[in-house]
Amino acid sequence: MTFNDIFKSSFLDNVTSVSILDMVLTVVLSFLLGLFIYFVYKKTFRGVMYSESFGTTLIALTMITATTILAVTSNVVLSLGMVGALSIVRFRTAIKEPLDIAFLFWAIAAGIILAAGMIPLAVFGSAFIGLIMLIFVNRKTNTHPYIIVLNCENHDSEVNAMKYIEQCVTKKVVKSKTAQRGATELNIEVRLKDDNTDFISRLSEMPGVNNAVIVSYNGDYMG
C-alpha cells in the first residue's frame, strides 16, 4: 500500500458533515452553560480583586471548546490537525486562585460533553456542580484566619504581648519573627473568639509595644 492509497481509503472518505441544527444547538447551549458558569463564578468569588474578563473567558471557553469538539468529531483529518496545532500552544498566564482552576476545567468539560451529544449530562452535571459550588464556597465559617503584625521593643514586652494575645484568641501560630537591635517584629496567625478586634487597640497601648496591626487573609502564607 502506497502513501497515496492511504489518502484514497474509504476511512477518510467517511466524513460526516455537521447539520445546521447541530451547530445552532451547540452554540446556543454552550453559551447558556457558559453563562451559568459565569454567574456561579461571580457569586462564589472570594478573592481580592474580581476580574470581569476572567468571567467572560469562561463563557468564551465553553463555546470555543464545544465548537472545536463538534468540528473534530465530524472530520478525522481535522482532528489530527487539531491535535498538532494544540500541541504547540503555551499558556503563560498564572492562575492565582486555586478555585479558578476548577472553573476553567468545568467550562472545558461542559463544552466537550455538550459537543459529544450528551446534552442531559452537560446540563444536569453543570447544575449539580453549580449547586455544590454555591453551598460549599459561600459557607460561613467561624474560624476565619487573621494575621497580627506585632512590633515590640524587647523580650519582656514580647512575652507580655503574647500572653495577652493568648487570652483574646482561640488559637495562635507564629509565622515569622524578625529581630533587630531594639525591635522585634512577629507575624502571628490567630483565630478570633468573635469578630471583635478591639483588643488590638489595647495591645498597642501595652508598655514596650510600638505598634500592632491585624489583617485578614485567605490562609495562604508565603515567607
Choose between 1 and 62: higher pLDDT.
Answer: 62
Joined together, the cell numbers standing for residue 211 give 505598634
Helix, strand, coil % (nearest 5) of the chain?
A: 55, 15, 25
Q: What's the distance, CA 10 to chain centroid?
A: 46
pLDDT of residue 189: 87
Task: From 36, 140, 34, 42, select the one nearest 100 (Cα to Cα).
Answer: 42
Residues recorded for the chain = 223
Q: Report which DSSP code applies to 154.
A: S
The grid coordinates of residue 122 equal: 452537560
Query: 182: part of which helix (H) or strand (E)?
Result: none
Average pLDDT over residues 182-197: 82
Cα torsion 59, 65, 68, 73 to 10°: value is -130
In terms of Cβ atoms closer than 10 Å to its own Cβ (0-12, 13-18, 19+), residue 100 is middle
Residue predicted with more confidence, 48 or 170 = 170
> Would you say 110 and 58 are in contact if contact means Cβ atoms under 8 Å apart?
no
Q: What is the rounded CA–CA span in Å between residue 216 and residue 147?
A: 6
φ, ψ for residue 91 (rounded to 5)?
-105, 125
pLDDT(100) > 90:
no
Question: How much is the pLDDT for 186?
Answer: 87
Q: Which helix (H) or strand (E) holds 111?
A: helix 98-115
User: What is the DSSP pairing of strand 209-216 with strand 183-192?
Assistant: unpaired
Q: What is the pLDDT of residues 5-28, one digit of tens each?
A: 544 444 444 445 667 888 888 899
As a whole number, mean pLDDT of residues 158-184 equals 85
Best mean pLDDT range from 21-25, 43-47, 75-79, 108-112: 108-112
More confident residue, 49 or 208: 208
Mean pLDDT computed over 108-128: 90
Residue 69 has pLDDT above 60, yes or no: yes
Residue 195 main-chain phi, psi, to 5 deg: -85, 5
Q: Which residues pair with 171 in a beta bridge?
A: 191
Residue of higher predicted confidence among 75 and 105: 105
Average pLDDT over residues 184-195: 84
Percent of the chain surpassing pLDDT 70: 75
Residue ranges and CATH numbers for the domains of the chain are 14-137 (no CATH), 145-216 (3.30.70.260)
The per-residue pLDDT for range 73-82, each reduced to its tens digit, is: 766 555 555 6
Q: Do 29 and 201 form a contact (C-beta atoms < 8 A)?
A: no
Q: Are 179 and 131 in contact (CB under 8 A)?
A: no
Q: How far apart are CA 175 and CA 182, in angstroms?
A: 21
Q: Name the amino acid, one letter, at 92.
A: R
- What is the chain's mean pLDDT, rounded? 79
Can you tell me the mean pLDDT for 197-215?
Answer: 85
pLDDT in the model for residue 28: 92
Region 190-205 average pLDDT: 82
